Chains A and B, each alone.
Chain A
Amino acid sequence: MKTYQILLFLFLTASAFPQNLNLHSLENKKKFADHLFCEKDYLRSILEYESILQSIQNDTIKFKIGLAYQRLDEYEKSINIFNSILPNAESEFYHSLFLMNDFNLFRIKVNNNKTDANPAVQKLYLFSYFFTDDALPDWQKFSETFSEERAVESFYEKKINPGYKSEITAAILSAIIPGAGKIYTEQYGDGITAFIATGLLAYLSYSNFNHDHDFRGWLFGGAAAIFYAGNIYGSAASAKIFNAGIKMNFENELRLFLNQNNYFMPEYNFCK
């Protein structure tokens, strides 16, 4: 009995060595490609998956290649691959299309292909309106589609009332009181500086003319005029920058939300 136990132990020890000896067999290539993918070495994983496809045709492998290209931001390639395995890869096909940031094209494709049944695509479809200046669909549609995502309501409100500043108002305010346009666009330091600088230069010009120093009067007067005109233009530009900042922050919030929700895509478990 003892001999059997020893032999069994030795057998189990020997069995600890890798059983499938061919490192380049299809099965091992697949395991290795998955490992590379999960290590985020997407380029190598693509090459490995592609070498498998030379031997067998497999939609799952193609799907993984598409995903790897998507992770590498090679959206056109991923779209082509997902397109070849539709309708199985429908969600990821539209996901890649969405990531290309051509939201009009994205919506045209969704409308043409009638993907009403796919909730992830529907969510992306409605979400795309937050990134464009097109009229938003009714809130009713959003509330039905995003019943579980409360943050969407605040995005919807922000899109309707973004809190932009008017460039014309900023320019007019600075024309009436130098620096007021800057203060309107929340550039308080710039506004006060512009007010003091323009006022001081105008006073120096007035004072010099009063004392018959005409050259200096014109010099300071010219400088005051340049500051005044520059401030009007600067206020309009400041409103534009302010609006761009609001838009950028809003889009960052949207991207963060999408990333946190994995663009509404399902989780794939081959990396677990």
Chain B
Amino acid sequence: MKKLLIIIFIAALASACKSQDELQSQYNLAQELFKKREYFDAVTELKRLNFFDSTNQFSFQSCLLMGKAHKAGAMLNDAVHNFTMAGIFSRTDEEFYEAEIELIRVNILRRTSSQAHKIIDRLLLDERFISKKDELNYWKGWAYIFEDDWVNAADLFSKVSENHELTNFCDSINDQLYSATLAKLLSVFIPGAGQIYTGNYLNGIFSLGWNVFAGWLSINSFAEERIFDGLVAANFLWLRFYIGGINNAQKFAEEKNLAITNNALDYLQHKYGGLKP
């Protein structure tokens, strides 16, 4: 009886070891698919691994890899879910930190940067990760870039290291940006000036000319006591174009800023050599 039980026990133990091998080879298969950029199939195999891994031996790795596959496939919401789960299944501080960093990066990418800031701030206060301050500031800087806050971004990159490449880059972008408020105010005081400030010279000169002409027409009508004509000219010929010019100045500034920031992001995506979200 005793021998029989020992044999059964050894058989069960062997079975358990084989199970682990099977799970390991399943994880390897998923990794291979991920490397071949077959993200859909990689996620399927990782889901299979998670389903059969009843003791959660591979849960951290599989959730992390699944998050990366979803991120690579631009399924950012799913990636956030996977990285959150990876954090839950982490067994060491390093694993937890790795999952949190991935979560920060994907939150920056999907422009939920307030969430990224929250996680970064929490990690900055965590004594376990005191040595990771520079890396956390680096990602905080990236979060500001995606918020179009180039001043704060430059400030944070300067904290990471002196003369950081991204500090100078963010400063230069900030210098190129137009102030929409200034453009509007210029057009309030001198019609067309806001458009000229944003580089739309022809539009600015035309706006100035039209305002002078329509203004003269309105004032002249009032001066000759043609009140109705004056009201019509002031309302339909002057005020409409005056207000339109102010709005145009703001629109031009915003369009220019969008082009500048798009170019900046394009540079960061294709030419910047450092780590990106």
Binding site for B on A (CB under 8 A): 3-4, 7-8, 10-11, 14-19, 21-23, 28, 31-32, 35-36, 41, 44, 47-48, 216
CB contact list, B1-37 vs A, under 8 A = 1-2, 5-6, 8-9, 12-13, 15-16, 18-20, 22-23, 26
Q: Which 3 A-B pairs have the closest CB atoms?
A: A17-B16, A14-B12, A7-B5
Q: Tell me, in angstroms, the Cα distance from A35 to B54 when the chains sit together.
A: 14
Decide: A32 and B48 in contact? CB cutoff 8 A: yes
B55 surroundings in chain A (CB, below 8 A): 16-17
Decide: B12 and A15 in contact? CB cutoff 8 A: yes
The residue in B18, B22, B23, B52 that gathers the most chain A C-beta atoms within 10 A of its C-beta is B52
The residue in A3, A10, A17, A35 that gathers the most chain B C-beta atoms within 10 A of its C-beta is A17
Known: A10-B9, A14-B12. A44 touches B44 (CB 8 A): yes
A47 surroundings in chain B (CB, below 8 A): 44
Q: Tell me, in angstroms, the Cα distance from A30 to B43 when the chains sit together.
A: 18
CB distance from B49 to the nearest CB of A (A): 8
CB distance from A266 to the nearest CB of B (A): 27
A8 surroundings in chain B (CB, below 8 A): 5
Residue from A21, A41, A216 in contact with B15 in the complex, judged by beta carbons closer than 8 Å: A21
Binding site for A on B (CB under 8 A): 1-2, 5-6, 8-9, 12-13, 15-16, 18-20, 22-23, 26, 43-44, 47-49, 51-52, 54-55, 228
A18 surroundings in chain B (CB, below 8 A): 19, 22, 52, 54
Decide: A21 and B18 in contact? CB cutoff 8 A: yes
B9 surroundings in chain A (CB, below 8 A): 7, 10-11, 14
Known: A14-B15, A17-B15. A7 touches B6 (CB 8 A): yes
User: Total number of A-B contacts with CB less than 8 angstroms?
Assistant: 62
Residue from A11, A22, A32, A41 in contact with B22 in the complex, judged by beta carbons closer than 8 Å: A22
Residue from A3, A21, A48 in contact with B2 in the complex, judged by beta carbons closer than 8 Å: A3
Known: A11-B5, A14-B13, A17-B19. A23 touches B48 (CB 8 A): yes
In the complex, which residue of chain B has the Cβ closest to the Cβ of A3? Answer: B2
Q: Tell me, in angstroms, the Cα distance from A166 to B12 when the chains sit together.
A: 80
Question: 8 A-B residue contacts at CB 8 Å?
Answer: A11-B8, A14-B15, A18-B19, A18-B22, A21-B15, A21-B22, A32-B51, A32-B52
CB distance from B5 to the nearest CB of A (A): 5
CB distance from B105 to the nearest CB of A (A): 25
CB distance from B26 to the nearest CB of A (A): 6
Q: Tell me, in angstroms, the Cα distance from A7 to B48 when the chains sit together.
A: 32
Decide: A23 and B15 in contact? CB cutoff 8 A: no
Decide: B44 and A23 in contact? CB cutoff 8 A: no
Q: Tell me, in angstroms, the Cα distance from A16 to B55 when the chains sit together.
A: 8
